[in-house]
A and B are shown apart, each in its own frame.
Chain A
């Protein structure tokens, strides 16, 4: 509920202050959703996005509090400001949802993603791949004479950049976890 601008908006906005809810520009928002860890809860969240035509750029979910039986779902989504507000409101009314936080607007946050990149090649390309992986502080987690699997953790843009560089060097397979995110400070 705390992510909903309308909850306090009633008193904090002037009655005549109307922001343009139908602005054309799409924004990328990272939403952090605390839910009861119960059967079907992920299906409810995903079903909301597919059923109402919202975008999911990435989604991660895992139990974060075993005794409290709650999970954190991190969704990266895209939409106009009106759509983003609507997504948050719709998420908030799912019964097993405890909290919805919009990390993109609620102050600073940190986002991390883990990726595994398999690069196949030999000779100079193989050496170059290893050299670049060092620059990116990637770990080599598997190696054969013709391949590496690099593990890299960072902001999604860093993983994108790494993939772009590895492509001409024999990038064969990619696995990415999607974004996990938390607000900074406390």
Chain B
């Protein structure tokens, strides 16, 4: 049954039909008709943000913690341009978002009207797809298609630009079932012959490793279960990218920890020395590979990915399998079991080798009873929240890498961090999005002081919507990762990498109407963390940490995995020459 209604009402109707319960947004001239409709209903909750970038990161946090697409509503011009960083972030990390932007009326497009921007032009390279809707009759169909495109195949952000006259005009509403099926239907099942070949390789591999990524999380919780079953049944070691943490539980016996630039020694050495690498939903990012020419030189590489362009993009692989990780894992397990669950006896030696690497204790750091070491702060946070169903978001920098190293994730959708784009200012809004989706859960944003300031206005959102997010700021009064690179690469010339006039974070919390506490003595740390965890209002914990701590281990840029820098190996005098000039051009 089709119904006649205004474009503005169609937006709300279509969102409701898509099962949307929450929209993150900010009103403005070009979306007023839609806001008028939002005012007149109660099914969809609207979270008023303080800046449109915050809205997009909140929607990302919502999406990553629920598996459902996040929805954003912003106005034309600056509303849309402010959303660009979030869109790019979501594209890089494959997060499904549907972003609705207002636009000047169709008859004004191209006249440089007030708050006009070429939104589809600006966002074309930072969305999976986008649409400018020219007539009200096609609006509902476009919105339904947008949800399909955002979630099918490799997920990503999509944007619909809706001119104001299209919102006012009346047209025919079509429900999701009334539109023709989309031509866009990425294959989900992997090629059976290829999966069988992978089983053959698994049966004979002597030094295998699973290298898992965000694709396992995006495939849904079933994929994580299947991964855990496969890893535990084969006894193969498993490592993960930053994006994939939680897919295999950190307490599992085959867990090596994160790999990559600041990954664990044993994980990177296993990647370098393996004879079979099974990449499940990861993309050979440059943070992972280090020097491509020397990447895992002796291994046969299998790569399961739903996006054909990820295969052979950076690292050529012998066995590509196009498909959804969950489906491929299901078939893989079936075939492997049917053929008799075989693995090589040499696996034992491989584990013995890995245990030697593990004994190197690459995360060791020099403890202190005078200053809070950032690693220690995270170890205490882990200890005091272990066993709770806990959601962690982060900003970007040293604290992010320490969080990935020292916090342990037992399940998927509990870890939200900006991986591909590395967006400072991501964590605070993302934590609010997570909290809105899980009102009773413990949600902690592990932050650095510099990153946190980039979207601190969103504390207002947290307070207004009673989202008791915990802001765990590791405050070193530095842009810590920048400072570390300047120390390693630029002759210890610390150009613009310190914060001279930081706000008083406790007073800031009070100014926003929530609570805060500062802690600098290691003896008070546990008490402070407990107070933060127990707070039923948003809480800022300002943890003053050692200012010059470096994040190790580290694969210096331009180096292969087996040339990691380990923290306790580097004498203070050598640190400036740790990276050679050919690596310095890389980021």
Q: Mark A157-178, 1 if CB is under 8 A from B, else 0.
A: 0000000000000000000000
Whether a CB of chain B sits under 8 angstroms from the CB of A51 is yes
Q: CB within 8 Å of B: which of A3-36?
A: 4, 6-11, 13, 15-18, 21-22
B218 to chain A, nearest CB (A): 15
A18 to B317, CA, bound (A): 8
For residue A86, CB closer than 8 A to chain B, the reply is yes
Residue ID in chain B nearest A92 by CB atoms: B308
Q: In the complex, which residues of chain B have a beta carbon less than 8 angstroms from the beta carbon of A15? A: 197, 200-201, 300, 318-319
A182 in the interface, Cβ–Cβ < 8 Å? no
Q: Are B183 and A47 in contact (CB under 8 A)?
A: no
Number of CB contacts from chain A to chain B under 8 A: 74
Q: Interface residues of B: mostly helix, strand, loop or mixed?
A: mixed
Inter-chain contact A51/B318, CB cutoff 8 Å: no
Inside 8 A of B124's CB, which chain A residues have their CB?
A: 40, 43-44, 47
Q: Is B309 a contact partner of A10 (Cβ separation < 8 A)? A: no
B201, closest chain A residue (CB)? A15
What does the 1/0 interface line of A59-88 toward B look like (CB < 8 Å)?
Answer: 000000000000000000000001001100
Interface residue A130 (Cβ < 8 Å from any Cβ of B) = no
Residues 436-482 (chain B) with a chain A CB within 8 angstroms: none
Interface-centre pick from A4, A15, A82, A86 (highest chain B CB count, 10 A): A15
The segment from B37-45, B125-133, B513-521 found at the interface with A is B125-133
Contacts of B121 in A (CB 8 A): 40, 43
- Is A55 at the interface (CB under 8 A from chain B)? no
Chain B interface residue number, banded: 20 to 34
- Contact, CB under 8 Å: B316 / A4: no
In contact, A39 and B132 (Cβ under 8 angstroms): yes
Contact across chains for B197 and A93 when beta carbons are under 8 A apart: no
Q: A residues within 8 A CB of B312?
A: 6, 21, 82, 85-86
Contacts of B322 in A (CB 8 A): 6-7, 10
Q: Mark B293-311, 1 if CB is under 8 A from A, else 0.
A: 0000000100000011101
How many interface residues does chain A have, given as a range? Answer: 20 to 34
* Chain B minimum-CB-distance residue to A95: B129
Chain B residue at minimal CB-CB distance from A38: B131
Please give the distance in Å from B405's CB to the nearest CB on chain A.
Answer: 33
B132: A residues at CB distance < 8 A: 39-40
What residues on A are CB-neighbors of B129 within 8 Å? Answer: 95-96
Complex: A17 Cα to B318 Cα, angstroms: 7
Could you tell me if B191 and A10 are in contact, using CB atoms closer than 8 angstroms? yes
Give the distance to chain B from A89, nearest Cβ to Cβ, in Å: 4
Bound Cα distance A11, B200 (Å): 13
With CB as the reference atom, state the residue of chain B lying closest to A10. Answer: B194
- Interface members, chain B 131-163 (any A CB < 8 Å): 132, 149, 153-154
Give chain B nearest CB distance to A167 CB in angstroms: 39
Q: A11, A22, A47: which has the most chain B beta carbons within 10 Å?
A: A11
Quick check: is A112 within 8 A (CB to CB) of the other chain? no
Residue pair B128, A10 in contact (C-beta under 8 Å)? no
Q: Which residues of chain B are within 8 angstroms of A125 by Cβ–Cβ distance? A: none
Given A16-B300, A40-B120, A89-B309 in contact, is the A10-B318 Cβ separation under 8 Å? no
Interface centre among B121, B311, B321 (most CB of A within 10 A): B311
Verify B149–A95 contact, CB threshold 8 A. Answer: yes
CB-based contact A6/B318 at 8 Å = no
Q: Does B320 contact A (CB under 8 A)?
A: yes
Q: Which A residues lie within 8 Å of B313 (CB)?
A: 86, 89
CA distance A43 to B201 in the complex (A): 43
**Is residue B569 within 8 Å, beta carbon to beta carbon, of the partner chain?**
no
A58 lies within 8 A of chain B by Cβ: no
Ranked nearest first, the 5 interchain pairs of A and B with the lowest CB-CB distance are A10-B194, A11-B193, A89-B309, A21-B316, A95-B129
**B residues in contact (CB < 8 Å) with A:** 120-121, 124-125, 128-129, 132, 149, 153-154, 183-184, 190-191, 193-194, 197, 200-201, 300, 307-309, 311-313, 316, 318-322
Q: Other than A9-B320, A98-B183, give 8 A-B pairs with Cβ distance below 8 A.
A: A10-B322, A17-B318, A22-B316, A82-B316, A85-B312, A86-B312, A90-B309, A93-B308
- Residue contacts A-B, CB under 8 angstroms, 8 given: A10-B190, A11-B194, A40-B121, A51-B125, A85-B312, A93-B309, A95-B129, A98-B183
